Amino acid sequence: MMNEFPAIAILPVPFSPDQVLIALAVLIPALVIFNLLLISEGVFESIGLRFYQAVLVTAGALLGSLINIPLIPVGETVIAVNVGGAVIPLFVTAEMVARGRVSRLKTLAAVAAVSLVAYAFATPVPGTGITMPFYVAPLAGAAAGLLLARGCRAAPGLAYAGGTMGTLLGADILNLANPAVLAALAGSKATVLSIGGAGIFDGIFITGVLSVLLAAYAGRRLREAAGVCPQERGD
């Protein structure tokens, strides 16, 4: 004789619309940031940093973008430098030059070229800061790197140096050096004006990443299609 046991069904409990929206609001930004971290780490490795250096620079840019170091008081306004948006890019650029991965003269030329473009497109907006279309600096950095390196493998490094340092010089420093612009940005209240921006993944960080990606992709296509840099074939 067979014993009969009651069946116990395990049924999924549907999520409410509010729970779905909350989950998406948390997961989507987390996935975007995670993928951007992976991409940026690969970018820093492509310009010559070792894996642990790329991880440290990426983490430093992320956390340092929230830190401003006061530099110069101007009346009630304080001009500061952002760690993630200014100090980290300066360190990476200096490291590339010191290691000989990019030419010092070509680096200066890339920075000068991008700074002119950034200064032309940057717009001081009182109450907001200095704004510029997001695509201008990466395109200018990539173009400067490709032209100065003639499409060779130094292009991404030059693109990074030109894109980041050129934007800092042309958009931030040259505008803040203008007393009229400084007064308009500061207004009549005490404020902090940060060189290099502020906030997670600020404009300088994104500029560096996009400049390297554009220069690396375009440089590879040039080498394949036009036969430039024959000494690099097979590398």
pLDDT at site 201: 46
pLDDT of res. 233? 47
- Give the tokens for residue 177: 């050096």
Amino acid 130 reads I
Q: Give the pLDDT confidence score for residue 200 in this predicted structure.
A: 42
Please name the residues in contact with 161: beta carbons below 8 A apart, sequence gap of 6 or more: 93, 96, 97, 102, 107, 110, 111
The pTM of the whole model exceeds 0.85: no
Return d(Cα 18, Cα 34) in angstroms, integer: 24
Q: What is the pLDDT of residue 151?
A: 63
What CA–CA distances, in Å, run from 103 to 108, 123, 154, 157, 215? 9, 31, 9, 10, 16
| Helix (H/G/I), strand (E/B), else coil: 135 | coil
Q: How many CA atoms are closer than 13 Å to the CA of 148, on its beta-carbon side? A: 29
**What pLDDT score was predicted for residue 44?**
81
Closest among 154, 182, 164, 205 to 75, alpha carbons compared: 182
pLDDT in tens, the chain (235 residues): 556 656 555 555 566 666 667 766 767 766 766 666 677 777 888 888 887 788 888 888 888 888 899 998 888 889 999 998 999 999 999 999 999 999 999 999 999 999 999 999 998 888 778 888 889 999 999 999 999 987 677 889 999 999 999 999 999 999 988 888 888 887 777 788 888 875 444 678 888 888 998 888 887 776 666 655 644 544 3
In the sheet that 68-74 helps form, which strands lie side by side, from edge to edge? 68-74, 77-82, 191-195
